[in-house]
Structure 1
Amino acid sequence: MSKKNRPRSGSLGYKPKVRAERMYPEIDNYEDTDEQKPLGYAGYKVGMSRVMMVDDTEGATQGQEVAEAVTILEAPPLRVYGARFYVEDPNSGKQVFTEAWTESPAKELQRATDIPKDGNMENLEKAKEHSDRIVDVRLLVHTQPSRAGISKKKPENFELGIGGDVESQLEYAEEMIGKEIEFSDVFEEGDFSDAIAVTKGKGVEGPVQRYGIKKLGHKTQKKRRKAGNVGPWHPDTLSWKIPLPGQQGFNNRTEYNKRILQHGDDPEEVQREGGFKNYGEVKSNYIIVKGSVPGPSKRLVRLRTAMRKDGKPGNPEVTYVEK
C-alpha cells in the first residue's frame, strides 16, 4: 500500500496567528500601473448564492452553461474626504509628509474620525511645492453604510492607492477630493481582484482544532488534545513552530484572483425573497464575485486590483442569478 502524503497542518506562512487590529484591513501594497485610477474598492459581504453562466475557460465544459457558487457584495460608492502624501526617509522608510482634507466632509464621517469641518486644502498646495520629495499619494476614503442594507451608522475610513506617477497622482487627488468613487471607475466585469478581509473569529482553540494535530492515545499522559512533545528540558524554551492553543480566526487574510462576474445598481437583480440570512435586503449597488471571500456577513471586504493577474479572460456571460 502506498504511503499517504499531505502538507503540514497549519501553514507556517500565517505565523503568528494573532487577532486583527480592527474589523477591516489595511493594504500596504498596490499594483504598479501607469493607469490613472483608484486601485481598490470595498463592499459589505451579503452572502453566497449561485449563478448560471457560460463557461469561457478552457476545459470539457467550455461554451456550455454551468452553475457557479458566487459571493454577493453590497457596495455603495466610496466618498473621498482627503489625500495623504508620503516622502521617503532613508532611515525609517516611507513617512507621512502631510494630509489634505475636503472643505465639506460628510456628517457621518465625524463618527469615525475627527477632521476640521472647514477642511485643510492648503496642505495640497504645500504638497505641490514639495512634489520633488513626494514618493506616493493615497486617497482617504470612507464607506457610506447608511445607503446599504445594514443597520449601521459609523463608516469605515481607509487609504486607497492611485495608479500613475507622482505628478498624475497629485493631479488626480486634487480632482477627486470631495467626490465619490464608483465601482466602474476601478473594475470591469471579468476583471480579477484580490479580496482582503478579516476572517470569522472563533476565539481561543486548542492545537487539535487550530493546527489539525492528531489526538494522543487514551493511555497517553493525562490529556489527549495536546502536543505530545513540545521540546527539551534544557534549554527550556519553546520553538515558535510548536502547535499551542491560542486565537483562532479574526485574522487579516488575502485571497488572490477572485473574478468579478457582474455588477449593477438595481438590487432587484440579486434580491432574495425575505432578504439574505444574517444580512437583510440589498438596497444599493451590488457586486457578484466568483467563489468565496473571507469574513462573515456584514463585514467589509476590500477589493484590490489584482497583483498576480495573468491577462483578462474576457467578459463573463451570466444567464441566471438564483434568488
Structure 2
Amino acid sequence: MSGIIGKKIGMTSIYSADGRSVACTVIEAGPCVVTQVKNEGTDGYTAVQLAFGERKEKNTPKALKGHFAKANTTPKRDVVEFRNFREEFEGQVALGNEIVVGDVFKEGDFVDAVGTSKGKGFQGVVKRHGFGGVGQATHGQHNRLRAPGSVGGASYPARVFKGTRMAGRTGGDRVTVINLRVMKVVPEKNLIVISGSIPGAKNSTVILEK
C-alpha cells in the first residue's frame, strides 16, 4: 500500500463538476524522504519507510541521527512505514530519494486518511456515548438529566460488566477515515485537497494511504 505523510492545514470548500459545494480538507503532503527500504531477504517483508517534517538536531537521539545520516538527510519529525509500496515506485524508492504528493496521488483517487482525533478530556456519558440522560426534568429528577443510570446488578452478578459504557477520557485516539476522494492536487505547493473531514487539529500529522 503506497502513501505519504502530511500536515493538516485546514478546511475549505470547492465546487465539484456537477456544481455541488463540497467540504474539503487541505493537507500539505510531503515532500517525504525515503529513510529505509525493507525487503524479504533481510527483514521478512517488503516496506518503505518515509520521513516528514523537520526536527531540531539537539532534540534528536543519536541513534536516529545516524539513521537519518544514512539517508543523507536532516533529522525528521515523523517516520512512517508503508508496506507493499506500489510496483511502479520500484526504482524511485531508493534510500535518500524524495517522494512528493504528485508521485503518489492524482485527482479522482480514493484515499484512506489516518490521524489523531482532538482530545476532549474527561467527559460524561451524554457527550462520550450519546446517552439521553435519565427520565425528564419532572418528578424530582433535579440532578439526573445527564446521568448514566444504573450500571450494575444486585446480588447477581454483583459486579459491573467489563466494557460498560461510562464517563471517561474522550478523543486523542488514532482514527482512520476510508474512501475519501482526492478533489485536487497542487504539486508545486505540495498540497492535496480531499473531500470530507479528517481527524485532528490544524498542523497535526496525517497519513494518507492508497
TM-score normalised by length of structure 2: 0.77
Answer whether contact 2:112 2:178 (CA < 8 A) is retained: yes
> CA distance change for structure 1 residues 84 and 175 in 2, over 3 Å: closer, same or farther?
closer
- CA shift at 1:75, angstroms? 1.7
Determine whether 1:207 maps to 2:112: no
Residue correspondence of structure 1 range 200-279 to structure 2 within 5 A: 200-217=118-135, 218=137, 219-220=140-141, 223-233=144-154, 234-266=156-188
Q: Within the alignment, does 1:290 sit opposite 2:195 as a pair?
A: yes
Identity %: 28
- Give the 3-state SS of the residue equivalent to 1:41 in structure 2: strand
> Does the aligned pair in 1 maintain the 2:182–2:194 contact within 8 Å?
yes
Partners of 2:149 and 2:91 in 1: CA distance: 57
Q: Deviations over 1:91-125 (max 9, x none)?
A: xxxxxxxxxxxxxxxxxxxxxxxxxxxxxxxxxxx
1:226 to partner: Cα distance: 2.3
Instruction: Mark the CA change 1:173 to 1:252 in structure 2 (over 3 Å): closer, same or farther.
Output: farther
Cα offset, 1:242, TM superposition: 2.2
Task: Tell me the secondary structure at the aligned position of residue 295 of structure 1.
Answer: coil
Equivalent residue letter for 2:193: I
Q: Does 1:194 align with 2:112?
A: yes
Indicate conservation of the 8 Å contact 1:45/1:296, yes or no: yes
Report how far residue 237 of structure 1 moved. 2.4
Question: Which of the residues 119, 133, 142 maps onto 2:51?
Answer: 142
Asked whether the 8 Å contact 2:50–2:81 carries over to 1, the reply is yes
Structure-2 residue corresponding to 1:317: none
Instruction: Name which of 9, 15, 24 aligns with 1:52.
Output: 15
219-228 vs 205-214, which deviates more? 219-228
Secondary structure at 1:143 match in 2: strand
| Alignment check: 8 A CA contact 1:53 1:68 kept | yes
Deviation string 1:284-308 (CA, Å, 9 cap, x unpaired) is 4111111111111111111111xxx
SS of 2:49's equivalent in the other structure is: strand
Deviation string 1:28-83 (CA, Å, 9 cap, x unpaired) is xx4xxxxxxxx11121111111112312xxxxxxxxx2221111111231101113
Secondary structure of 1:144's aligned partner: strand
| Structure with more of its chain in strand, by fraction | 2
Q: 1:265 to 1:187 in 2, by over 3 A?
A: closer
Deviations 1:152-200 (A, max 9, x none): x851112112246xxx79x938952111112222222110001111111
Contact 2:32 2:98 in 1 (8 A): yes
* Mapping of residues 5-154 of structure 1, within 5 Å: 30=1, 39-55=2-18, 65-85=19-39, 127=42, 135-145=44-54
Contact 2:29 2:100 in 1 (8 A): no
Give deviations 1:259-300, integer Å, cap 9, x for gaps: 00111134xxxxxxxxxxxxxxxxx41111111111111111
1:161 aligned residue (59, 83, 86): 83
**Which amino acid in 1 is paired with 2:98?**
E
One-letter amino acid of the structure 2 residue matched with residue 155 of structure 1: R
1:197 is matched by which residue type in structure 2? G
